[in-house]
Amino acid sequence: MDLRTALLRAAVARPHVLVVGGVGTDRLRARVEQEVARRRWPVATAPADTDVVVVVGRPGPELGAVIEDVWVGVPAPRARVQVVDEHEIVPGLDETVGTLGDLDAQRALAGRDGSRPTRAASPSVDEDDEQHEHSAHDDHGAEHGTEHGTEHHHHGGGTELPGGLAMADLAEDRDGLALDQLHVPLGPVLPEWPSGLVVDVALQGDVIQDARARFLDVEAGEAVERLPDAARALTSVARVLALAGWSGPAARTRGLRDRVLFGEGDTAHVADELDALRRRVHRSRVLPWVLGSRKSSRGAVLDALEEKFSSARAALGGGGEHRPTTTDLPALDARLVGAEFAAARLIVAAANPAPQPALAEPTSTEGAS
């Protein structure tokens, strides 16, 4: 083993993982997150911080295109693995360590200089086709994007910069001043973001002027697998806490969710821990202070958090009847308009929308503004 290989192996022993899944993959995704946490591997914040991309389930064409986009932005040494079954998780993650430490494989993967190609310059690129079946990139020109997606949004009338980027528009802000307005898709690859959700927003500064939420690859009326109520509520709580910068309690909540989903029937103990966590959140004086934003009647997110705790507690038994409230996409759009970026992230995490066959037609939802 020469020095370079030794160095590479040392470098990749604790890879940062980016988990990407479409709508309806939440259960498998939770399993992946659990295994990643068990290995003490950090969860990446963005593609640039990623070593391993774990694709959960079989992404549809829209999400598939987004994943290709994300993959281009992941710096070498890098590895990608697709997981469609719980039994594939452990061998899959083990395999990525091997790929990351393999100098020849990495040379092949790091062919480019790491810059993101523009749409025109990148006909469907797929570096490791043999591992992946989703080669449906026919709609590569459609408007998708990650959180870095400004470069892909060809807004009508916007001036093109070199590299195929769209310039910002001008529009009136909330005080009636003409300011730059940027059209950006939020999601689906963002930390603490609901699977498969994309919100196309118009941003001025970091204030959202217009929002349109949609789910990728979901046909109207299609039935989608959902997590049980308790696990779903806990996922939402964990995301809100993580976005509030309280990573310890967030990780503990996620651990509780995993035990609700996969635990060996020790629900009594889980309920106790849930109550302890809830008391801790209640006791915090900083959390209400930072969550309550000036405009929204002090702490709509805080109320949602409380509601999720009750819902999880009720689902675990012992908390009385409780029907979890659900948010449909038009309602979410309405709430996002006028929110600042940080507040918007919290609103989405607290609402935790899911496709609702009876109610929503995700492709034709209209913003409330």
Partner 1 sequence: MSTALPLGGAALLPGLLLAVTWAAVAADAVAAGRAAGRPVSWTVALGLPGREAVRLLVGQRRRTAAGDELLRGIGGAALLVAALMAAAVLPLGLRPVADLGPGLVWFNAMEVVAWAAVWLVGWGANSTVSLIGGYRFVAQGLAYELPHMFALITAAVGAQSLRVTDVVAAQQGLWFIVIMPVAFVAFLLSAAAMAFWGPFDAPVGRDVAGGAAAELSGVDRLVFSTGRWLLLVASSAMAVPLFLGGGHGPWLPAWAWVLVKTLAVLGVLIVLRHRVPTIRMERWTEFSWVVLVPATIAQALVVTLVVLGRGGI
At residue 169, φ and ψ (nearest 5 deg) are: -90, 175
Cβ atoms of residues 298 and 64 within 8 Å? no
Q: Does 206 bind partner 1 (CB under 8 A)?
A: yes
Interacting positions 101-120 with partner 1 (CB under 8 A):
110, 113-116, 118
Interacting positions 42-101 with partner 1 (CB under 8 A):
45-46, 48-49, 51, 73, 75-77
Q: How far is the CB of 204 from partner 1 (least distance, A)?
A: 12
Q: How far is the CB of 349 from partner 1 (least distance, A)?
A: 9
Nearer to partner 1 by Cβ, of 284 and 356: the residue is 284
d(Cα 239, Cα 35) in Å, to the nearest integer?
Answer: 18
Q: Does 255 bind partner 1 (CB under 8 A)?
A: yes
Burial classification of residue 351, based on how many CB atoms lie within 10 Å of its CB (0-12 exposed, 13-18 middle, 19 or more buried): buried
d(Cα 244, Cα 242) in Å, to the nearest integer?
Answer: 5
Nearer to partner 1 by Cβ, of 60 and 73: the residue is 73
Task: Give, in order, the Cα–Cα distances in Å from 119 to each of 66, 139, 154, 176.
Answer: 12, 11, 10, 35
Q: How many chain residues bind partner 1 (CB under 8 A)?
A: 65
State which of residues 251, 331, 337, 368 lies at the interface with partner 1 (CB under 8 A).
251
d(Cα 134, Cα 76) in Å, to the nearest integer?
Answer: 22
Q: Does 318 bind partner 1 (CB under 8 A)?
A: no
Q: How far is the CB of 269 from partner 1 (least distance, A)?
A: 13
Quickly list DSSP for 181-222.
EEEEEE-SSSTT--TTEEEEEEEETTEEEEEEEEETT--TT-
d(Cα 295, Cα 298) in Å, to the nearest integer?
Answer: 7
d(Cα 368, Cα 339) in Å, to the nearest integer?
Answer: 13
Q: Does 334 bind partner 1 (CB under 8 A)?
A: no
State which of residues 125, 179, 342, 368 lies at the interface with partner 1 (CB under 8 A).
342
Q: How far is the CB of 223 from partner 1 (least distance, A)?
A: 31
**Does residue 180 sit in helix, strand or coil?**
strand
For residue 157, give the H/E element and its range.
none
State which of residues 150, 310, 356, 369 lies at the interface with partner 1 (CB under 8 A).
150
| Span from 22-30, 209-217, 248-256, 317-325 in contact with partner 1 (CB under 8 A) | 248-256
Contact set with partner 1 (CB under 8 A)? 7-8, 10-15, 37-38, 40, 45-46, 48-49, 51, 73, 75-77, 110, 113-116, 118, 147-148, 150-151, 161-165, 182, 184, 190-192, 203, 205-206, 241-249, 251-252, 255, 284, 286-287, 289-290, 294, 341-342, 345-346
